[in-house]
Amino acid sequence: MKTSKLLLKSLFIVGLTGLEGCYDFSQFDNIKVEPISPKMVVPVVKSTISFNDIVEREDANTIIFTKPGDTRFFIAFRDTMDLFNAADRYSFPDFNFTKQYQLDAGEVPGVPVPAGEIWGPFKKKYTETYNSIAGAEVKLVKLSAGNINMVITNNFQNSISAMIRFPSIRDQLGDTLAFAMNTTLPGQTYINNQDIKDYSLDLTSGSLYNTLTVEVELTIHSLGNPITVSDDANIQVSLTGLDFDYLQGKLNETFPLNDINLTLDAFSSSIDADFFLSEPKLTMTFENLFGIPLAFSTVNFDATNTNTSQQVSLVNEGVPPTGSLLLAQPNSIKYLTSLTQQQPEVDSKYVDHNNSNLEDFLAIAPNEILISPTVTVGDATTNHDYFVRKTSTLRMINEIEFPLAGWVDNLQISDTVEVELPDLEEDLKLVNDDALKIRLKFKFINSIPFNIYIQGYFLDDANTLLTQLYDEASELMLVKSSEVNLTTGKTSAPTTNWAFIDINKSKYDQMKNATKLVIQARMQTGGNTHQNVVVESTNTLETMFSVELEGNVDLNN
């Protein structure tokens, strides 16, 4: 609830006329002036506002606008939100694996190799599965950071040397990462590491994906000791600190997104409603920086008026045409098709009064909308060239738009302001007697097709009701609707309406003790009952407000 502070400043009355003759001014304190009984009218407000000024408030998500060639006002609620991003969703954790290099039986010599001679080289290929993303078949990862560390321990009875190649790890020129291990004695360890920033991980091996490949070409340098199938070189490989610029492959997953909570600020103070909005439209515009098919679904799409506890769920009706937002069904979203494309693909889905119950959805004047969405990444094809950049995001701009055309039978709005009323005796020098009268005078010249009824309730700090703005049980019509053309629903002529609120001293004292004023307004369209009216950009409300005071003023205080 928006809270503001209302401070009625003191009125100062100064009069000094008709002073003649001589007087000993040392006796000035002895001068007495009889109380006077003036009647004063103090202008307070004179302004002209449009419907835009009434509804579109600062820091609200409500926008009032016109369209070319259309004199009607349109109202829109717009919210922009990031649904999900690759940086938070996808990562490449550290990866460690160990391989044992051993000779096959056919590679073992029948007799010991004389000392000083070599045996081999013998080349072996190893693969290891790297499931970095659950359910994905990753083909390629372009790294933005990372390090590879390799440790080889010689458990042969003779010295060994080796060339270790990683066909899965390639530099910017496409060359394979390779390590040359010099001759290493039995029991010794070879250690090497390499920064692989800007390298690529090619995780394919034949028809397999998520697969890291290592090739080891090992030569035995004989010390005269036996060579057996139980001899081995223990190879430990660690990939750490991995981060990516982009990945390519086939991703398949469906997961829930965070709930989307939308607020409709123009309805935020509505405590009751019975109205019909003509031609409403809700559009979801997606900005997609993923290079892979995405589908957006809604599990729940509920509107709530928290002031009345009314709730309506949005559902499709009839056969939705192409471009419709399918509720509780997947909605395919356009995606990037080139890694060089920097601008997002934009796709829009909509519901309106033709393909959904949107009119009923908005008829409760909802101030909150809850959407529980899911997103599906990937499709049923075998395409492994889809890509996801680290900077990929899916953003949604949600807009509910409708022309200000329709009818309102009972739209009640409540707001609270702080009040601090002046003391009539101390601040205004008014005598506390029955002669004191206060009248609030309003004059409205209105070309907006709305009647507006007002009541005010004065509360103390404990929210106890002290008094109300006027004593009648029902509210007061302050603003009378303009005259309405029964055919077009547009204003045909403005109306002028006077309204008066009388306040006596006893009521004023109750008001003065209040710290809060709850203003309750009810809006009702003009014309015939449930007639569609149109609010145009040329419609305005001119307001003149003054305070009339009558009573005794004691100039000696």
- pLDDT given for residue 321 in this prediction: 95
Q: pLDDT at residue 136 above 50?
A: yes
At 207, which amino acid appears?
S
At 268, which amino acid appears?
S
Which residue matches tokens 């949600």? 398
Side by side, the strands of the sheet bearing 70-85 are 62-67, 70-85, 393-403, 281-288, 345-352
Q: pLDDT at residue 379 above 90?
A: yes
Give CA–CA dist 77/277, Å, rounded.
14
Q: pLDDT at residue 443 above 80?
A: yes
Q: Considering only residues 528 and 54, tell me which one the structure prediction assigns the higher pLDDT.
A: 528
- pLDDT given for residue 14 in this prediction: 28
C-alpha torsion 323→325→328→334, nearest 10:
60
Query: What is residue 337's three-state secondary structure?
Result: coil
Give CA–CA dist 11/478, Å, rounded.
26
Predicted confidence (pLDDT) per residue in 495-511, tens digit: 998 888 888 777 878 88
Query: What is residue 131's three-state secondary structure?
Result: coil
Query: Confidence class of residue 343 from pLDDT cuts 50, 70 and 90?
Result: very high
- pLDDT given for residue 22 in this prediction: 40
Of 80-89, 262-271, 476-485, the range with the highest mean pLDDT is 80-89
The DSSP bridge partners found for residue 468 are: 457
Which residue matches tokens 């009952």? 529
**If you ran DSSP here, which 8-state letter would residue 359 be given?**
H
pTM of the model: 0.71
Q: Considering only residues 107 and 2, tell me which one the structure prediction assigns the higher pLDDT.
A: 107
Q: How big is the CA angle at 121 (ends 117 and 124), to the nearest 5 degrees?
A: 150
- pLDDT given for residue 555 in this prediction: 62
Predicted confidence (pLDDT) per residue in 288-325, tens digit: 999 999 999 999 999 998 878 889 999 999 999 999 99
Distances in Å between the Cα of 321 and the Cα atoms of 204, 318, 397 are 42, 9, 21
Q: pLDDT at residue 41 above 80?
A: no
Distances in Å between the Cα of 320 and the Cα atoms of 332, 373, 543, 557 are 15, 19, 46, 77
- pLDDT given for residue 91 in this prediction: 94
**Residue environment code for 387-426, b if the CB has 16+ CB neighbours within 10 A, otherwise e:** bbbbebbbbbebbbbbbbbbbbeebbbbebeebebbebee
> Any residues with CB less than 8 A from the CB of 340 and at least 6 apart, and which?
none
Segment 26-43 mean pLDDT: 51
The DSSP bridge partners found for residue 357 are: none
Q: Considering only residues 240 and 401, tell me which one the structure prediction assigns the higher pLDDT.
A: 240
Total Cβ atoms within 10 A of residue 206: 8
Indicate left, alpha or beta for 427 from its phi (over 0: left) and psi (-120 to 50: alpha): alpha
- pLDDT given for residue 27 in this prediction: 43
- pLDDT given for residue 428 in this prediction: 63
Residue pair 390/85 in contact (Cβ under 8 Å)? The answer is no
Total Cβ atoms within 10 A of residue 81: 15
Find, among 313, 315, 302, the residue nearest to 356 by Cα.
315
> For residue 328, what are its two tokens?
């509780």
Query: Confidence class of residue 54 from pLDDT cuts 50, 70 and 90?
Result: low
Find, among 222, 337, 239, the residue nearest to 289 by Cα.
337
Give CA–CA dist 94/249, Å, rounded.
20
Percent of the chain with pLDDT over 90: 52
- pLDDT given for residue 59 in this prediction: 45
Indicate left, alpha or beta for 527 from its phi (over 0: left) and psi (-120 to 50: alpha): left
Q: pLDDT at residue 250 above 90?
A: yes
Query: Confidence class of residue 519 from pLDDT cuts 50, 70 and 90?
Result: confident
- pLDDT given for residue 331 in this prediction: 97
Which residue matches tokens 């359910």? 135
Percent of the chain with pLDDT over 70: 79
What mean pLDDT value characterizes the chain?
A: 83
- pLDDT given for residue 113 in this prediction: 94
Predicted confidence (pLDDT) per residue in 445-497, tens digit: 989 888 888 787 889 999 999 988 777 666 677 788 899 998 888 899 999 98
Give CA–CA dist 212/131, Å, rounded.
10
When mean pLDDT is compared across 3-12, 56-65, 131-140, 539-548, the lowest value belongs to 3-12
> Any residues with CB less than 8 A from the CB of 265 and at least 6 apart, and which?
57, 60, 61, 62, 77, 367
Which H or E element spans position 53?
A: helix 51-55
- pLDDT given for residue 274 in this prediction: 57
- pLDDT given for residue 20 in this prediction: 36
Give CA–CA dist 445/496, Å, rounded.
4
When mean pLDDT is compared across 57-71, 92-106, 194-208, the lowest value belongs to 57-71
Find, among 21, 87, 169, the residue nearest to 388 by Cα.
87
Predicted confidence (pLDDT) per residue in 185-214, tens digit: 999 999 999 999 999 999 999 999 999 999
Residue pair 367/266 in contact (Cβ under 8 Å)? The answer is no
> H-type helices in 303-434, by residue range?
358-362
Give CA–CA dist 86/387, Å, rounded.
11
